[in-house]
Amino acid sequence: IMADDKDVLRDVWFGRIPTCFTLNQDEVTEREAEAYYLLLPRVSYLTLVTDKVKKHFLKVMRTEDVEEMWFEYEGTPLKWHYPIGVLFDLHASNSVLPWSITVHFKNFPDRDLLHCPSSSVIEAHFMSSIKEADALKHKSQVVNDMQKKDHKQLWMGLQNDKFDQFWAMNRKLMEYPTEEGGFRYIPFRIYQAMSDRPFIQKLFRPVSPEGNAYTLGDLLKEMYPAAITNDGEQKRYQVVIHGIEPLLETPLQWLSEHLSHPDNFLHICVVPTPSD
């Protein structure tokens, strides 16, 4: 069984989204820019993996026209501080592949997006997510016991796409005392496509006071009951994690251990079922 779990971790880590980057038509170019295709890692962040994109498009642009690069999909600016997989599942999960992203070099939307001047900003954001997750799971004991080099190892693992290097450290964050039966609270975020709220994040224990393990269904019932289809009704929403729909009876503790992102959060997207 452990072998299957390791496979799941690998599949999650190495998940890719075929993306087509097209330069915005309004950008001023010296000649026509071809689209740039790339397989984006689901678990990484846009600004971390798009150096090649920038280089490609900079070839056709004049340096004076280049400001901070930003991306949008069908008019929606894509927040770089969300994991790429989350952005795709939320906005384009049922659209035709490859994912078509438009690249902008002008008119950075300050109200919608955060600036990302360097990779250290991404690192800081990533590490703060990890610490927040551990605060929920272990009252920050595990992450505080780690040394600085361990934190660095986590970041380098993500940056260089090194599964073993990352998980050598991350497994410590996935441990829990056996008598508890799970983490203290599950770090999760539920994203909705059409909502003014960015996401739902609340305290939720993985194990009931009687010792029963809670499932994904229990979480949704508590946090977003509309997502659950009652008997007899048509399915209105899909509950997507890492591009798949896990069964509602999947234990929440197991999902948190195996289907979390590298930032240790379980990102859940609730999207309307495609009506084709």
- In the complex, the smallest distance separating the C-beta of residue 245 from another protein, rounded to whole angstroms, is 7
- In the complex, the smallest distance separating the C-beta of residue 203 from another protein, rounded to whole angstroms, is 24
Per-residue tokens: 48: 């971390």
Candidates 95, 222, 244, 272: give the one binding another protein (CB under 8 A): 244
Candidates 173, 186, 259, 271: give the one binding another protein (CB under 8 A): 259
User: In terms of CB distance, is 153 or 256 closer to another protein?
Assistant: 256
Number of residues that bind another protein (CB under 8 A): 33
How many angstroms separate the CA atoms of 6 and 14, rounded?
A: 12
Give 147's contacts (C-beta < 8 A, 6+ positions apart). none
How many angstroms separate the CA atoms of 26 and 31, rounded?
A: 13
- In the complex, the smallest distance separating the C-beta of residue 151 from another protein, rounded to whole angstroms, is 28
Site string for another protein, 79-98 (x = CB under 8 A): ------------------xx
- In the complex, the smallest distance separating the C-beta of residue 250 from another protein, rounded to whole angstroms, is 4
Contact 78, 72 (CB under 8 A): yes
Strands ordered across the beta sheet of 237-240: 188-192, 266-272, 237-240
Q: Name beta bridge partners: 77.
A: 72
Candidates 30, 37, 109, 195: give the one binding another protein (CB under 8 A): 37
Which segment (11-19, 70-78, 138-146, 168-176) binds another protein by CB under 8 A?
Answer: 11-19
Give 127's contacts (C-beta < 8 A, 6+ positions apart). 151, 154, 155
**Angle formed at CA 137 by CA 266 and CA 11, multiple of 5 degrees:** 35
Q: Which of residues 96-125 bind another protein (CB under 8 A)?
A: 97-98
Structure-token match 């038509």, residue found:
25
**Angle formed at CA 199 by CA 196 and CA 205, multiple of 5 degrees:** 145
Candidates 28, 51, 59, 195: give the one binding another protein (CB under 8 A): 59
User: In terms of CB distance, is 253 or 264 closer to another protein?
Assistant: 253
Residue 51 contacts another protein per CB under 8 A: no
Which amino acid appears at position 31 of this protein?
Answer: R
The residue ranges that bind another protein (CB under 8 A) are: 1, 4-5, 7-8, 11-12, 14-18, 34, 36-39, 56, 59, 97-98, 242-247, 249-251, 254, 258-259
